[in-house]
Amino acid sequence: MIECKTKSEIHPSARVAPDAKIGPFCVIGPDVTIGPGTVLGRRVTVTGNTTIGSGNIIGDGCVLGATPQDLKYRGADCLLVIGHNNRIGRNVTVHIGTEPGGYVTRIGDDNFLMEGVHVAHDCFVDNRVHLGRMVQLAGHILIQDGVVMDDMSGAHHFVTIGRYARVGRRTPVRRDVPPYTNFFTEDYGWTAPSVRGVHEAGITAADLKRDEELELRRTLSDLFEDESALQMKIEQLENMGVEGEAAALCEFCQRSLAGKFGRDRESYRGQVPPEAAAILSPEKLAEIQRNKK
Amino acid sequence: MAEISPYSIVEKGAKLASDVVVGPFCYIGGSVKLGSGCVVENNVTIVGQTTIGEKNHIYPMAVIGQTLDGDENKGKCVIGSANNFREHSTIYAGTAKEPTRIGKNNLIMIACQVGAGTKMGDHGIFANCTHIADRAIIEDYVRTSAFSFVDSGIRVGAYTFTAGYVQVDHDAPPFAMIQGSPYRVRGVNTHNLKQCGFGEAEIRSLKRAFRDLYNGTGDLKQDVLKALAADKKANQYVKTLVSYLKSCKPKEADND
């Protein structure tokens, strides 16, 4: 990487770590923090109230922390928080949060975002997530640990994608995806995509104990042999007593079923979700509460 | 005098209004006109014979007015006022005879592409990765979802919503919600119509017309269209729909 600070516009009040490398033609705004060891490629724009952690590699042409595309956004000082050791490919766009969505967009640690990925306002991408080329995430989405989304898949707003699930290529996700499952489409948009089997690589990556893994596999095959009468099957399983990851899977499915349109996070519409409340300062939260009244 | 970053290149001959803001690392060609109140952020390329109206906001990495045949000074692009061109969006220039035209108040989101010679109306919202091919006609108040593809020379009617991953391969009716590839008409875009101030009775009559015309399929029933055209009591929106559908190119027969 060529260190070429003379050809980049870095605002004097931006806090850039001394060993961060900034490529040519970058623009860095006034409220930006960039951690040590982070490498920015060429033509990267970082604006807004954006914090980037350490050891991130950010490719050419990325735009991080721009204003949301949401018409609800009224120009408040919202945050984008990016963790450590992420690999972000070329032309990735990540937006800051909105006022009604909870003020925060967050990307965790060790994620891999390929070319053209868009992470919209108020999204929470946890750790070790792999987003393929051109994956488009709408607003208010939660992507849990270890999720794999293949090329050109997209997610509707307020969707949750469960731990270590995999979304197939070109799949529109309109409802929650249960953990450890494959979620595919076959005919590109006429019928709703559905759960098609277990994501084996996800179970391997989760590194579960042997008993826990067996119970999880049994629960998955019970629930998703076919997706009919899911509610009844979950209740049966819970009466029998499940533990660990299997219990978490049952709870996830139940919450999704209870949510509007099969999306649990619809209940956070116009509210500050718990993930955002963990990041915001107490003063800010108090201010939001006051503004609501 | 326009506020131009010293890192940007604005060619001689470009006409920028006095309050235009141009961020760093932009390139603005010699035949470009920018209206008052325009904000051009960083790393933007505007070339060709491009006229941009008032109060447009052009976000980083957008490219406006390029042509695919290499001679970028010949391309022509006419853009109205108060549009937002988000990051990585690309507007190709048409020819002098058939310029690319964009109306006012459109929101063109990330990585959208508008082809050469496209005529776009007003108040549209085009979600990420909407690809509009050359010479398409997009009417007013159109909403598209991510990964909508409009083929070349295709018309999309006013107030229509296209779901994600739609391929619009033949003319899409107005007031509709369309889904799938190739698309089917799934009903009336009631949400958008209500936002645009349509009354309950009007929406109901449109719903009835759509149910008779399409019945959830992509194929238009010609006999129902004839009956609707003969109906003298139909309200103005149904009349608009009927006259639009009559002027459409018919759907090409599937080869497979």
Q: Are strands A194-198 and A181-184 parallel, antiparallel or unpaired?
A: antiparallel
User: How far is it, in rounded angstroms, from Cα B46 to Cα B60?
Assistant: 12
Name the token pair of B26: 């932009």
Select the residue from B128, B166, B183, B217 to test the A interface by mutation, using most A Cβ atoms within 10 A.
B128
- Which of A105-114, A228-237, B22-31 is least confident? A228-237
Q: Which residues of chain B lie closer than 8 angstroms to A7, CB-CB?
A: 7
Q: How far apart are CA B22 and CA B44, in angstroms?
A: 9
Largest CA distance in chain A: 66
Spatial separation of the C-alpha atoms in residues B200 and B78, rounded to whole Å: 37
pLDDT at residue A191 is higher than 90: no
Contacts of residue A82, Cβ cutoff 8 Å, sequence gap at least 6: A50, A51, A52, A53, A56, A64, A94, A106, A107
Q: Which of A9, A116, A188 sits opposite B181 (nearest CB)?
A: A188
The closest CB to that of A136, out of B107, B128, B184, belongs to: B128
The pLDDT value given to residue A6: 60
Q: Give the start-end residues of each E strand in A49-133.
A: 49-52, 57-58, 63-66, 79-82, 87-88, 93-95, 104-107, 112-113, 118-119, 124-125, 130-131
Of the candidates B142, B190, B167, the residue with the CA atom closest to the CA atom of residue A190:
B167
CB contact under 8 A, A116 and B60: no
Question: Which residues from chain B sit within 8 angstroms of residue A66, using beta carbons?
Answer: 59-60, 86-87
User: pLDDT class for A1, splitting at 50, 70, 90?
Assistant: very low
Best probe of the A interface among B9, B40, B88, B162, by most A CBs < 10 A, is B88
Chain B residue with the nearest C-alpha to that of A25:
B25
C-alpha distance from A25 to closest chain B C-alpha (Å): 6
Give the residue among B81, B75, B80 at the shortest CA–CA distance from B63.
B75
Please list the residues that pair with A46 across neighbouring strands. A28, A64
Positions of A annotated as catalytic residues are 121-122, 139
pTM of the model: 0.92
Q: Per-residue pLDDT averaged across A91-99, rounded? A: 95
B180 CA to chain A: closest CA distance, Å?
5
| pLDDT higher at A39 or B69 | A39
pLDDT in the model for residue A235: 87
Any B CB within 8 A of A189 CB: yes
Please report the DSSP string for B146-177 in residue order: TT-EE-TT-EE-TT-EE-TT-EE-SPBPTTEE
pLDDT bucket at A13, cuts 50 / 70 / 90: very high
- How many residue contacts between A and B have a Cβ separation below 8 Å? 82
- In percent, the amount of chain A with pLDDT more than 90 equals 76
User: Interface of chain B against chain A, CB under 8 Å?
Assistant: 5, 7, 23-25, 41-43, 59-61, 86-88, 107, 109-111, 128-129, 146-147, 163-166, 179-181, 184
Query: Are the beta carbons of A144 and A127 closer than 8 angstroms?
Result: no
Nearest-CB residue to A170 (from B41, B110, B165): B165
Tokens representing A144 are 């849990």
Chain A's closest residue to B148, CA to CA, is A189
Q: Taking 50 as the threshold, does the pLDDT of residue A36 lie above it?
A: yes
pLDDT above 70: residue A260: yes
Is this complex's ipTM strictly greater than 0.85?
A: yes
| β-bridge partners, B114 | B91, B132
Nearest Cβ partner for B164 among A61, A91, A154: A154
Residues of chain B with pLDDT under 50: 256
